[in-house]
Structure 1
Amino acid sequence: MKTIAIIGAGPGLGLSLAKKFGSKDFNVALISLHESTLVPLVIELKALNINSKYYVSDVRDLEKLGSTLKQVQSDFGTIDVVEFSPYAGPQTFRHALEMNIDDVEEQYKMQVLPAIKLVQTVLPSMKEKGSGAILFNSGISALHPIPELGNTGIVCSGLRNYALNLHNLLKEEGIYVGFLAVATLIKKGTEGDPDLIAETWYDLYDKQDQFETVYPKMN
């Protein structure tokens, strides 16, 4: 069986991704900051006969993140897909005219540095196998500047730049790097239902015929 590691797993998109990939015979490793968030997810997945395990790790602690990913590799034998979507919440967003250096640095430590660390950790084994996928999830400010998301927009666009470089450099080695920008509020029963986003993510991973997509599609 293949294994997906979901970094930033929660009861919304993380759980939907776990269910989607799990339904395709993936083991699921859930990584997040709070054990209280992770335990119910594993219980729900196991009720669906999806083999899963949780790991508590703060993405801002780069050494801990690296050791956690290595533990996942040890527990499951491999990481075939890693999905990266840490989310601190709207309380950390700052307007472009009101943000300060600390506001940007906080987002940078939450998104860019751990993204680099996860790539450095999982890429060697993926190169050795000649296969694998690294999936980056972000908000729409990565592509379209929104003043109210001034600090996170800077960081998300940088994350996208890094992901695109990886995509172009690794595609000839059998390793897929994809980017999905969510342009709506993620909420059950709405256009931004996490199950629908998970379907889009799996389709992007399965086809591997383009670098990125925006959900929902924008005119």
Structure 2
Amino acid sequence: MTTFALVGAGPGLGLASARRFGAAGHTVALISRDAEKLDGLTAELARDNIQARGFTADVLDIESLTTALHAAAVALGPIEILQYSPVPRADFMKPVLDTSADDLDAPLAFSVKGTVTAVNAVLPGMRNLGRGTLLFVNGSSAVRPNPKVAGTSVAFAAESAYVGMLHDALAPENIHAAQLIVPGAIRPTSAHSSPDVLAQRLFDIHQQRDGFRHYSEPLPD
């Protein structure tokens, strides 16, 4: 049995993804800063007969994130699938003319250092398995810079560049890196961007392994 590790566990897309990959037979490692939230999510998954466990970590703290992912692999089994989809903080989203150099430190740490840390933590286990999937979820500013949200526009673009390089570099090792762009808000009633629809889309990307960048729906004009 292998593990689905979710960085950025929450009650929306995170829980839906955990359910989808758990239903396919994977154990589930939930990673978040909030231990109380993790307890609630693991209890919900247990009602669906999905084996899950929470691990507290902050993506801005490289050591805690590395420790959590290593602990998850030891406790639950080797990590075959990583989903990196923490929600950016509101203060990352200043207008471009109000953004200083210091304002970019946290967004870049969140989207780039956290991403690289998570990948480096799980990659040795995927190589031992001979397979793996690295899934990253971003908003539209990853591909269409938005001057109203400069921090995420810069940081998501950097994350996209890194994941694109991973896609090419790891394909010969049967490790698939992919990005899912969600142009708008994740809403339970959305035909294309509800948590359950996105979770199924991520599962399909994992199974089909058919490209780097995917969109939940076309970007608006």
Normalising by structure 2, report the TM-score: 0.95
Deviation at 1:170, TM superposition (A): 0.5
Q: What is the aligned length?
A: 219
Match of 1:210 in 2: 211
Cα separation, 1, equivalents of 2:39 and 2:183 = 29
Matched, 1:199 2:205: no
Offset from partner CA, 1:143-164 (integer Å, 9 cap, x none): 0111111111111010000001
Deviation at 1:91, TM superposition (A): 4.1
Match of 1:105 in 2: 105
Match of 2:128 in 1: 128
Q: Gaps spanning 5+ residues in structure 2: where?
A: none
What is the letter of the counterpart of residue 3 of structure 1? Answer: T
Deviation at 1:77, TM superposition (A): 2.3
**C-alpha contact (below 8 Å) 1:140/1:214 kept by paired residues:** no
Q: How does 1:131-142 map to 2 (within 5 A)?
A: 131-142=131-142
Q: How does 1:88-99 map to 2 (within 5 A)?
A: 88-99=88-99
Deviation at 1:129, TM superposition (A): 2.3
> Does the residue aligned with 1:186 lie in a helix, a strand or coil?
coil
Match of 1:59 in 2: 59
Cα separation, 2, equivalents of 1:17 and 1:90 = 23
Normalising by structure 1, report the TM-score: 0.96
Offset from partner CA, 1:55-93 (integer Å, 9 cap, x none): 111111101111111101100120011110111333431
Match of 1:31 in 2: 31
**C-alpha contact (below 8 Å) 2:92/2:149 kept by paired residues:** no
> Does the residue aligned with 2:31 lie in a helix, a strand or coil?
strand
Offset from partner CA, 1:72-131 (integer Å, 9 cap, x none): 110012001111011133343111121112221110111210111111111112122221
Cα separation, 2, equivalents of 1:212 and 1:130 = 23
Cα separation, 2, equivalents of 1:218 and 1:203 = 20
What is the letter of the counterpart of residue 213 of structure 2? Answer: E
> Does the residue aligned with 2:149 lie in a helix, a strand or coil?
helix
Cα separation, 2, equivalents of 1:102 and 1:4 = 34
Q: Which moved more, 1:178-187 or 1:88-97?
A: 88-97
Q: How does 1:105-184 map to 2 (within 5 A)?
A: 105-184=105-184
Cα separation, 1, equivalents of 2:157 and 2:219 = 18
Matched, 1:14 2:14: yes
Cα separation, 1, equivalents of 2:100 and 2:130 = 43
What is the letter of the counterpart of residue 50 of structure 2? Answer: I
Q: Gaps spanning 5+ residues in structure 1: where?
A: none
Cα separation, 2, equivalents of 1:39 and 1:188 = 23
**C-alpha contact (below 8 Å) 2:93/2:150 kept by paired residues:** yes
Matched, 1:2 2:2: yes
Q: Which moved more, 1:151-160 or 1:119-128?
A: 119-128
